[in-house]
Amino acid sequence: MRTLAFKGLYWQDLISFTEQWKLLAGLRYDKYEFASDNKLNQQSRSYDGHSLSPRIGLIWQPIESQSFYASYSKNFAPYGGRGMITIATDSKTVYDDKPQYSRQYEVGIKSDWFNDKLSSQIALYDLELYNVRYQPDAVNDPYNWQVRGSDRSQGIELSAIGQLSKNWYINSGVGYQQAKVHKDKKTPDNKGKYLSNTAKHSGHIGVRYLPYENWFTEVEFNYKGSMYNDDKNLVKRSGYGTWNAAVGYQTRSVDVTLAVTNLLGKEYWRSSSMPGTPRAFLLTASYKL
């Protein structure tokens, strides 16, 4: 039997110094407790912890349609995000129950165009994950996760979303990142290696067309670049692109949509051990009184 408890306190405020300058500040305190009991052999294991997560952002808006910002945030995941799956075992290992943290710095520009019909954003970010977990002995002690070290990702993202013309809409974005191992207690030689199952390049573009009132059709293309299968960067698999499509009818009370994912039946691998999703059809319908 497993039990868990979360308690949190959150504060956030947007302070306007002038019409052009604003400050967004927030602070969150979390306390958590996990416990796991095995009634068959009378074993138990528990751990608890707490974390303080700040968030701050400075915004400069010289004109109504253009905003420049810089932000910093810190977040955490209890036990490296593994707290929900740990169970009581007879392992004598002393578990390292430190949370996994993330710190992110970001600067960017948000813009509105053509009387707010189209919005764009460009962002540069620096993200570090630390207290990243690993399994010292996945076969004999699969519930033991220790701290490996830290990873760091630096990149740029661009996006555009909005209305192109009377009946045409777009949702698009591209990204480039350098994601590498920053510290590896388990295998020090992996420092500087590119993170496995992580693409440098990614992107998507979706177009929606409304030919008649209440009717729509859309098509979307998603792309991920090549990725390494392993932590040592010895084996690389090819990138892939997939097409999705949908057609639907919507009113205030009725919503019917037929969607097709992986429209062309592309064969690909999402990870080193997980094949991609084959072509699939999904019909949904809802009615609101």
**Which fold would CATH assign to domain 1-167+176-195?**
Maltoporin; Chain A (2.40.170)
pLDDT of 288 > 80? The answer is yes
Tens of pLDDT, residues 174-187 = 999 999 999 998 89
**Predicted confidence band of residue 272 (pLDDT cuts 50, 70, 90):** confident
What is the pLDDT, as a whole number, of residue 85? 47
Cβ atoms of residues 178 and 192 within 8 Å: no
Say what the pTM is. Answer: 0.86
For the chain, give every domain's residue range.
1-167+176-195, 200-289
pLDDT tens sequence across 231-267: 999 999 999 999 999 999 999 999 999 999 999 999 9
> So what's the pLDDT on residue 84?
47
**pLDDT above 90 (res 35):** no
